[in-house]
Structure 1
């Protein structure tokens, strides 16, 4: 889905002297390992909406699920552009990541089965999904749409000396 060799730059304005760019493969490892992400969408009236959610990184994209009637899904029906963030709430260590892109609904049943296995493998049996033939996950709460967000632009904020801000641009 996403170019695996993005253009990578460190922004000296927001980085310690001598800081170097975080390599994209390191950012991908952090994206894949994160337990919680924050999704930012835009309501139809233009107001922002931010919510925490679970997700899995597969094949160059971050995937998340949401019920068809949830605010996230309603927002995405009007505007598919999103920001996903993850990181740690500390100042002097870690790396915060920001992924900007378009949320594209995944409906291929074989792909959804693979993603359902990834969810369960990452989060355990509490997050087991059945896959519906109409292209959605199903759990005890009802159907859930699955979306993939391949980065168009991503940022990494390295915290602690040296502080760094890396930008990755994808074609």
Structure 2
């Protein structure tokens, strides 16, 4: 897992003059509060694939789930590099956060039970999961669970002052 406090810098080319970096705790809180994320994966032929999904900030990483037959799960078999994006669909308000990292499947059933409870607490009963065979289990099948520890993240502060903060994890 990465260190909790990343190295942080502002890209002056895309930031208001003299703006300070968005603190990592603020970006981390935005990740924890977000209900919708967009995941970007790469198809085996190199074409990009982007789709919305729920995700959970837990500990120092993002977790998401997907059915084994879904396009993103099949993409991860050949290339585990992902980008998870969340934020507001507004030009001049809010903070968008982008997390880059490697998706690693987790099958630890104690952790999966902890995550299933956290998912239901965050999203409600629609996201009720049982756990078995190293997966989330739900009425329409099973779902693999992946963890993405941030390698690099970006915070895009929108509105005056505008800012682009890069977070580099060791």
Match of 1:151, SS?
A: coil
Cα RMSD, aligned residues only: 0.5
Give unpaired runs (5+ residues) of structure 1.
none
The separation in 2 between residues aligned to 1:125 and 1:5, in whole angstroms, is 33
Q: How does 1:73-92 map to 2 (within 5 A)?
A: 73-92=73-92
Give unpaired runs (5+ residues) of structure 2.
none
The separation in 2 between residues aligned to 1:89 and 1:32, in whole angstroms, is 18
The separation in 1 between residues aligned to 2:40 and 2:161, in whole angstroms, is 28
Match of 1:31, SS?
A: helix
The separation in 2 between residues aligned to 1:37 and 1:3, in whole angstroms, is 23
Match of 2:149, SS?
A: strand
Q: Hey, what does 1:138 align to over in structure 2? A: 137
Residues 42-64 of structure 1 show CA distances to partners (whole Å, capped at 9, x for unaligned) of 00000000000001000111100
CA displacement at 1:2 relative to structure 2: 2.2
Residues 78-105 of structure 1 show CA distances to partners (whole Å, capped at 9, x for unaligned) of 1000000000111111011100000010
CA displacement at 1:17 relative to structure 2: 0.5
Relative to the length of structure 2, the TM-score reads: 0.99
Relative to the length of structure 1, the TM-score reads: 0.98
